[in-house]
Structure 1
């Protein structure tokens, strides 16, 4: 018992209390237990299960006790002017046949329960993909901070060197001011990068339903060029797997089956209904015999069979059948629409991922060229052979090349992971 309580308490603690850094799996597991939308969806599941129990209970007979009491006053009567009467009855009823409505309603309730389970699973998958994108964006923002921190260090060193040249009368104060301006610009870019990182972390905290005081730090992940530029699987295979594993399509297919049952339930309105009724009762009237004698003499038992044949119902049955058929057509269209939507999603991720991989390959060459150019320009600047404008251009080109390479890298990784998710309905994130 104590072990169970302890495990429950640990599950309620913030995950940061159990681990120093968050992995993607940590985020998914925490969201599974704490995301409010997901918890509400699970409540819908529970409500559907109760509705199913209620549907099954329609096979059970009904039983109720009824009693009535009345007092009458006859002001102009001769003799006793007041009377009291009461009745007591125990009544039972059971529907023998209702055109199959009861059986089909139970089937519908089972389907609705399954649909709500699928909705919960679909919501969890949406949360997983949202987490994947936010998690990747945080890693990207974190590395971007490193780029701008290095840029600030370099521009600071260049500014210090420029000040030495000014003091040695080898550089004008105007040139020094330009380099100092570059230094301030790099600091500003660093502040922006830190702000972006904090915003992305806030998005993650909101998705995980973490409090305002909670701290979160992600585990570092490294990818090599082979992983970044990995060949993508055939797009047709991915689409087929996406359709086969998509919970929304499965839910829509069940909705279609449910609409067919709606038609059967509606048609039951045209069929006769048979019900069985039975009861026992008695009554008492005063003034008259004693209560015990009156109850004994008034005791009665009854049983009856009722046949109800619908003739006219103001087109209620006809309208219900028509509406059920419309819902059936709508369910088919929703399935087709979802398949088209999946095709567009998968194709867009393939286009974005291939584009990111191509940009990454080009950015690698650009980055290496910018790095060598920046190193050479810095060496010449330290010797006093390069003017500030050339130095600033070289510096900015190098920073931009780093940023372009980083952006292409994370777009390629995100695209690959999203494709993996649509293929397997899960994703392996280091």
Structure 2
């Protein structure tokens, strides 16, 4: 019956393990198109920092099991085999326990065997407190995993939004370049017709070169952001990434902002770095109690079995072991009296460590509030800038269209045309920058509030 249960349990274990491995393999398949969520999901499985923290967390689970095992008795077997040679004696005597064995052999052999057990009955509660301590350390390690996951998710979001901004900037650059090339083509025609001189054509050529340079520069920026994203996902730098470009409307830019206090109160309750600092204070409390336990006595139970055999005896090996068999049991009590201030120093160090943990919690909360306040201020400012930049871009576009018509009629010169064109390009860039700054910081505010990032 026991064998049947063992086989069944083993089969179930392999089935579960196989299911987990299959699920893990399925989840790490690279998507055909990378959305923000697919990037996050992939990074949570593949990022090396997260994997390292998971290994550390798994190690703390072993520490918990080891701490619990301290309540169990210890058992050990010992033996020693010795050979003695007395070349100048006429006879030899071997003393083992209360037996004296006389032999004419100058070489004697002795074997001792023992089985010893010990168990701590009381040590001021150190064992139970240490179990609680290791359990807290395990929770802190799990929170470290969660913290690294959130950090990676935040970093990916920032880079992904930068990629969206760079991609839309490139579209603006391409439109500007197409317009400049069209203007250059028209300028060449006007030059042939005698409406423009060669210097005017050269200025249009210079504008085309400037727009090409800006396009190449922004393409390099986009490539750099993609490389940073690949590094977070542990992908090869040469690997192609088909990134999904979501259609973000004005409502995504100007969505209502939660108050700073609301976000902070929610973040204090859900951010793993805050919970970790709180648990560190609990760890310090336990360390203080463990240090104080050194003032209390320690009581342990000991027991053992022992026997021996010697050469030159009239009895055989098994008979000697039986005759020499001995059982022992005892209680050991250790009461601390003076320890050269070791316990008192340990208590004081533990108390100071608690103060440090409390200060670290305060500092972490302060840093958290500062981060949230920064997100809120940047989001609020970017939303206002977006509204203003959008109006500025409309006005710049109207002004450029009018000046372009006047230039074609010969009422405006080339300097006025190119100046207004650059003003239009600048307003477009300002609007895009404000747009994506508002989107990023709004999403991060919601994320710190406990909501999921969605683009």
Q: Tell me, yes or no, if the aligned pair for 2:89 and 2:106 is still in contact at 8 Å.
A: yes
Aligned to 1:36: 48
Q: In angstroms, what is the RMSD of aligned CA positions?
A: 1.6
Residue 213 of structure 1: how far off its partner (Å): 3.0
Q: Tell me, yes or no, if the aligned pair for 2:444 and 2:453 is still in contact at 8 Å.
A: no
Residue of 321, 325, 333 corresponding to 1:295: 321
Residue 108 of structure 1: how far off its partner (Å): 0.5
Instruction: Give the Cα separation in 2 of the matches to 1:246 and 1:240.
Output: 10
Residue deviations 1:326-385, cap 9 Å, x none? 111111111111111111111111111111111111111110111111122222333444
Residue of 36, 50, 68 corresponding to 1:24: 36
Aligned to 1:266: 291
Residues 204-353 of structure 1 correspond to what in structure 2 (within 5 A)? 204-289=229-314, 290-353=316-379
Q: Tell me, yes or no, if the aligned pair for 1:90 and 1:280 is still in contact at 8 Å.
A: yes
Q: 1:9 to 1:335 in 2, by over 3 A?
A: closer
Instruction: Give the Cα separation in 2 of the matches to 1:97 and 1:332.
Output: 32
Residues 1:415 and 2:431 are matched in the alignment: no
Secondary structure, in 3 states, of the residue corresponding to 2:78? Answer: strand
Aligned to 2:61: 49
Residues 126-145 of structure 1 correspond to what in structure 2 (within 5 A)? 126-145=151-170
Aligned to 2:5: none
Instruction: Give the Cα separation in 1 of the matches to 2:193 and 2:88.
Output: 131
Instruction: Give the Cα separation in 1 of the matches to 2:247 and 2:165.
Output: 11
Q: Tell me, yes or no, if the aligned pair for 1:161 and 1:382 is still in contact at 8 Å.
A: no
Residues 1:59 and 2:84 are matched in the alignment: no
Residue 225 of structure 1: how far off its partner (Å): 2.4
Q: 1:158 to 1:340 in 2, by over 3 A?
A: same
Structure 1 stretch displaced more, 260-269 or 217-226: 217-226
Secondary structure, in 3 states, of the residue corresponding to 1:233? Answer: coil
Q: 1:326 to 1:5 in 2, by over 3 A?
A: closer
Residues 1:399 and 2:425 are matched in the alignment: yes
Aligned to 1:11: 27
Residue 287 of structure 1: how far off its partner (Å): 2.3
Gaps of 5+ in 2: 1-14, 92-104
Secondary structure, in 3 states, of the residue corresponding to 1:59? Answer: coil
Q: 1:259 to 1:144 in 2, by over 3 A?
A: same
Residues 72-221 of structure 1 correspond to what in structure 2 (within 5 A)? 72-79=84-91, 80-221=105-246
Secondary structure, in 3 states, of the residue corresponding to 1:303? Answer: strand
Residue deviations 1:388-420, cap 9 Å, x none? 211210111111110000000111111111111
Residues 348-359 of structure 1 correspond to what in structure 2 (within 5 A)? 348-359=374-385
Q: Tell me, yes or no, if the aligned pair for 2:296 and 2:336 is still in contact at 8 Å.
A: yes
Q: How many residue pairs were aligned?
A: 425
TM-score by length of 1: 0.95
Secondary structure, in 3 states, of the residue corresponding to 1:203? Answer: helix
Residue 3 of structure 1: how far off its partner (Å): 7.9
Residue 4 of structure 1: how far off its partner (Å): 7.2
TM-score by length of 2: 0.90
Instruction: Give the Cα separation in 1 of the matches to 2:276 and 2:125.
Output: 25
Secondary structure, in 3 states, of the residue corresponding to 1:386? Answer: coil
Gaps of 5+ in 1: none
